[in-house]
Amino acid sequence: MLCLLVTGGWLGVIAADATAAPAPAKSTEPPVTECFESREGYTTVTRVENAVPQYGYPNVKCSNRTSKVWWYGDPYDGTIPMGDMPVLAADDPTRGDFANAVVKPREPHLMYFNMDPEKHCAACHDGQTVPFPKSNKPRELGMHQDIVEDSLQLQHGRGAIWCLDCHNATDRNSLKDRQGAKVSFNQPQKLCGSCHGQVYANWRMGIHGKRIGSWKTGGKKRWWVCTECHNPHTVQKARFDPIKPEAAPELPRGMKNADHERTEHGGN
Ligand code: HEC
Ligand code: HEC
Ligand code: HEC
Ligand code: HEC
């Protein structure tokens, strides 16, 4: 399954069986304009008409069936520079290949972060309204059950980690890595990579996760960051939320079925 996730891979077609679902009837309904890219609810995109004016393309097209983005007119829409991408070793073969690396920022997608448009999480976590925690030990919380149902049973790390291994105790608008360095919500790869070094190395090289854009070394590419696919609070029960597959594409005109796909290559 993972082999489908290489550069430019299509996440949505993992289990596509050419005959499983009928192609959707041509619809006269207006196009879906709110859809998601990978993790539902946390990667929402709004279709904008004429986002690529020279061709008249929208930024994205959304599937009417799954509400998933299935076509990009502008793959860099809404992206920002990824920022520094720490190398793991001085002889890293991909060193220097990231000048044009871009990502979609995560902050606009976080509900609690945007409750107060200026202070963000610190609207409550200012040390007064909600006191800074005295210890990093797991305890029952009277808040955020919509994000973490049971804080004593956090579904990440099999009991070895807790909220304050990732969240900054006194600056809640940022995360912190394993060495205690501040990490922006827009660069979760630095947090995740501080514990999952091997996956991070693979991700940088385009072996894990997903990138789209130019294939050229140093060409402009968009990387999907870790939390666009993984919910950090539930990975233990669901490493990744699979996306419903789209229906098989319509057959070319004049072709009655796809039986030829069932014979081996060359028909022998
Ligand atoms: C509306 C107020 C409010 C906002 C906004 C808010 N929190 Fe909280 N949060 C709380 C309260 C209250 C607690 C403590 C609950 C307890 O001790 O029972 C808490 C606890 C936590 C904890 C558990 C660790 C600790 O401090 O004891 C984490 C982690 C956390 N919040 C993260 C965040 C993040 C990240 C944001 C912004 C994205 C955020 N919170 C925004 C009210 C808020
Ligand atoms: C493995 C690291 C990690 C742990 C452990 C962790 N979080 Fe988080 N948390 C994150 C990251 C990363 C995000 C941002 C997610 C994103 O980009 O979608 C986040 C986001 C949040 C948010 C904001 C969600 C929103 O939509 O506004 C809250 C609240 C929160 N965490 C609370 C907690 C609480 C409470 C705990 C402990 C019971 C906890 N987290 C444990 C990494 C972690
Ligand atoms: C403080 C260290 C730490 C951080 C930071 C951290 N993790 Fe983890 N993660 C763990 C541990 C420990 C496990 C459990 C490994 C095991 O069971 O063998 C785990 C498990 C996982 C798993 C499930 C792996 C499996 O084999 O089932 C996923 C997926 C994952 N983490 C993703 C992330 C993502 C995404 C982030 C960043 C938001 C992150 N982790 C940040 C420590 C961490
Ligand atoms: C485009 C989506 C996507 C992105 C981006 C992504 N992952 Fe994954 N990841 C997956 C899928 C799919 C699996 C396999 C899930 C399964 O087996 O259930 C996986 C598996 C994992 C695992 C467990 C298996 C293993 O190989 O150890 C960890 C840990 C993990 N990812 C961490 C990360 C981290 C850290 C990042 C960011 C640096 C990241 N992932 C980025 C989709 C993604």
Residue 125 identity (one-letter amino acid):
H
Question: How far does the centroid of ligand 3 lie from the alpha carbon of residue 123, in Å?
Answer: 29
Q: What is the pLDDT along the chain (268 residues), one digit of tens a residue?
A: 333 333 333 343 344 444 444 555 555 677 889 999 999 999 999 999 999 999 999 999 999 889 999 999 999 999 999 998 887 777 777 676 788 999 999 999 999 999 999 999 999 999 999 999 999 999 999 999 999 999 999 999 999 999 999 999 999 999 999 999 999 999 999 999 999 999 999 999 889 999 999 988 888 999 999 999 999 999 999 999 888 888 888 899 999 988 888 877 655 4
**Six token digits for residue 89:** 């070793």
Alpha carbons within 13 angstroms on the beta-carbon side of residue 107 total 18
Ligand 2 atom closest to the Cα of residue 195 is 1
Whole-number Å distance between alpha carbons of 202 and 146 = 32
pTM of the shown model: 0.90
Three-state secondary-structure class, residue 176: strand
Ligand 2, residues at Cβ distance < 6 Å: 42, 106, 109-113, 141, 144, 147-148, 151, 154, 156, 161-163, 165-167, 175, 185, 188, 191, 227, 232-233
Which residues sit with their C-beta closer than 6 Å to ligand 1? 110, 112-113, 115, 121, 123-125, 130, 133, 141-144, 163-164, 167, 172
Residue with tokens 């912190």: 176
For the four alpha carbons of 135, 138, 141 and 144, in that order, the dihedral sign comes to positive
Question: What's the Cα-to-Cα distance from 85 to each of 173, 189, 203, rounded to whole Å?
Answer: 21, 9, 11
